[in-house]
Structure 1
Amino acid sequence: MALILHIETATSTCSVALAESGVFMDKIERTEANIHAASLTVFIDELLKRNQKSFKELKAVAVSMGPGSYTGLRIGVSTAKGLCFALDIPLIAINTLTAMANGFIKKCYSVNGNTIFCPMIDARRMEVYTAFYNKDVEFLKVTEAVIVDENSFKAILDTYIVYFFGDGAPKCDEVLGKHINARIMDDFSNSAEDLIEPAYEKFKEGAFEDIAYFEPYYLKDYVAGKKKA
């Protein structure tokens, strides 16, 4: 049996989940800004203890690799790499948007072939990190940073019903929500549970990262803001 720890810190949600051979066991998560540094290792320790598991029983650690918050990703990936080094176990990296699409689609009762899924992670102002997926969680449009306006994704929206979800979707409602095929969802939160299926597939394939050189997928260079007086 493969016990895998999953870590999601790409947004304001700090989430950890345990699964055994791809089967969900338990999770701990909280959505609040700037809690990752103080909460992540506490959540991991508590999750293992309440499921009567030890660190030595872990066979791999899976981490949400980005895109997303620079600070959140750095904390999540650093923690995952530290555990993998200490325990001599492999590191699995999952695209954050792919994990989001996987989680959202699993919650849908039925999906037809004319439906496209667009996870969105909030960036600055009207910018989002996004990608498009079909019902089988396959890329239709690769990950990119997009400044959203009323003409964004028009060709896709004219052809398909598109579900927009994630913490970047609500701010796009005014410009995208007017289209008859747009579905703006405001009730989705990132979760480490959504990494479980893709992570276990990578585990079985032996698709692991080089722990020494792996870095988060920031998509854009980090830009530090000015400190307030």
Structure 2
Amino acid sequence: MSIILGIETATKICSVAISDGEKLLAIKEEGGAYSHSQKLTVFIQEVLDQAGKTFKDIDAVAVSKGPGSYTGLRIGVSSAKGLCYALGIPLIAVDTLQAMAKNTPPNLPSTDGEGMPRYYTTDSQMWNLLLEKAKEHRKKPTEAEMVLWKFLRTKQLGYKFRRQHPVDRFIPDFVCIEKKLIIEVDGKIHEFQKEEDKIRTEILNENGFKVIRFKNEEVICNIDEVVSKIKAQLQSLPSGEIKRGLLFCPMIDARRMEVYTALFDENNNLVEHITAKIIDEYSFAKHLKSHKILFFGDGAEKCKEILSKHPNAIFTDSGLPSAKTVNEIAHEKFNNKEFEDVAYFEPYYLKDFIATTAKKLL
């Protein structure tokens, strides 16, 4: 596992988190005013103390790279670079808007019909009923499930797999939505419920999913052959049809009616490039015709009066910048060794900094 210290200072929120792999160990965040120069180093020490870690335990530092506040980004990036240089560890840069989009919860408002997130593979009522149970299952994987997950996670086979993901009325072990493939890892109890498993498979097939099963012993004792069979299935199956799902639009206030923004899909992939956009009634018109768009962030409120008239525009208070999601993205980058040059890395300001004179000095 990798211990990653995450820093988020692109907006008024000062956020620091420390994670061990995908597990969040500690987080400290506070908003309301630009006081990052006073808070950041204090927050870093606090999360280290809460997690029972020292600076020597850190494997990498992840920082929100922008766009956002010029001063906030300078403070966050300078601190991250200083730590990496002093400790001799890698620096990971994470796009601020992408991290915000990842910080939106799955139980989003008004996502019926085609606006429903594509990873909802059952109706919304059943999804909410099964979600907590699925989370509990993820916390208590079997030995065989842990072995197989090491090979499926972070798109190692070329496709995203989800653990304990609800489909119809069931919670399969592993699901690849793009390829409509379900992998079940069976313990000995399944030897006595073959009829139930047959019915379950038939229902999952009716939902368009291919189901393959492996016994615990196969996974633990012959993982290479199991992975080879999964690869063969992935290659043989066509990619599922991409439906018109919900789009995520994080917005950071860039003053007046301008915002830093981008569009992401349900899998956190970039749909429309990052830009400084002046919002008017025609903004996002092309995408709003065919998608519901969730707008959020400190720049969304001032755009609400203009954009909320469209039936496909949804606004939420969630999706604020957080070091927690910076670390989630950084974890995959760490595994892929996507590191920055500590000496030459600069924040992504998007716009040139313009110095002004304080009004009280005029």
Q: Please tell me the TM-score bracket, short chain as reference.
A: over 0.9
Matches within 5 A, 1:7-156: 7-104=7-104, 108=108, 111-112=117-118, 113=243, 114-156=245-287
- SS of the residue 1:142 aligns to: strand
- SS of the residue 2:310 aligns to: coil
- SS of the residue 2:27 aligns to: strand
1:196 shift after superposition = 1.9
Q: Quick one: distance in 1 between partners of 2:54 and 2:266?
A: 36
Partner amino acid for 1:65? K
- SS of the residue 2:332 aligns to: helix
Q: Quick one: distance in 1 between partners of 2:34 and 2:74?
A: 13
1:189 shift after superposition = 2.2
- SS of the residue 2:247 aligns to: strand
- SS of the residue 2:53 aligns to: coil
5+ long unaligned stretches in structure 2: 110-115, 119-242
Q: Quick one: distance in 1 between partners of 2:106 and 2:26?
A: 17
- Of residues 20-29 and 74-83 in structure 1, the stretch that sits farther from structure 2 once superposed is 20-29
Q: Quick one: distance in 1 between partners of 2:281 and 2:350?
A: 24
1:186 shift after superposition = 2.9
- SS of the residue 1:85 aligns to: helix
Would you say the 8 A contact 1:92–1:199 is kept in 2?
yes
Max Rg structure: 2
More strand by share: 1
Partner amino acid for 2:95? N
1:105 shift after superposition = 5.0
Aligned to 1:214: 345
Would you say the 8 A contact 2:26–2:50 is kept in 1?
no
Q: Quick one: distance in 1 between partners of 2:46 and 2:58?
A: 15
1:187 shift after superposition = 4.1
Alpha-carbon distance change, 168 to 226 in structure 1, aligned in 2, over 3 angstroms = same
Candidates 140, 157, 162, aligned match of 2:288? 157
Partner amino acid for 1:123? A
1:226 shift after superposition = 2.2
- Of residues 119-128 and 184-193 in structure 1, the stretch that sits farther from structure 2 once superposed is 184-193
- SS of the residue 1:104 aligns to: coil
1:185 shift after superposition = 1.6
Would you say the 8 A contact 2:257–2:279 is kept in 1?
yes
- SS of the residue 2:104 aligns to: helix
1:188 shift after superposition = 3.9
1:225 shift after superposition = 2.5
Alpha-carbon distance change, 148 to 5 in structure 1, aligned in 2, over 3 angstroms = same
Normalised to the residue count of structure 1, the TM-score between the two structures is 0.96
Alpha-carbon distance change, 189 to 107 in structure 1, aligned in 2, over 3 angstroms = farther
1:111 shift after superposition = 1.4
Would you say the 8 A contact 1:164–1:183 is kept in 2?
yes
Matches within 5 A, 1:164-179: 164-179=295-310
- Of residues 23-32 and 212-221 in structure 1, the stretch that sits farther from structure 2 once superposed is 23-32
Q: Quick one: distance in 1 between partners of 2:50 and 2:310?
A: 47
Q: Quick one: distance in 2 between partners of 1:106 and 1:87?
A: 37
- SS of the residue 2:261 aligns to: strand
Would you say the 8 A contact 1:170–1:185 is kept in 2?
no
- Of residues 108-117 and 144-153 in structure 1, the stretch that sits farther from structure 2 once superposed is 108-117
- Tell me the percent identity: 52
More helix by share: 2
Alpha-carbon distance change, 77 to 107 in structure 1, aligned in 2, over 3 angstroms = farther
Would you say the 8 A contact 1:105–1:135 is kept in 2?
no
How many residues align? The count is 229
Would you say the 8 A contact 2:68–2:260 is kept in 1?
yes
Would you say the 8 A contact 2:68–2:252 is kept in 1?
yes
- SS of the residue 2:98 aligns to: helix
Partner amino acid for 1:124? R
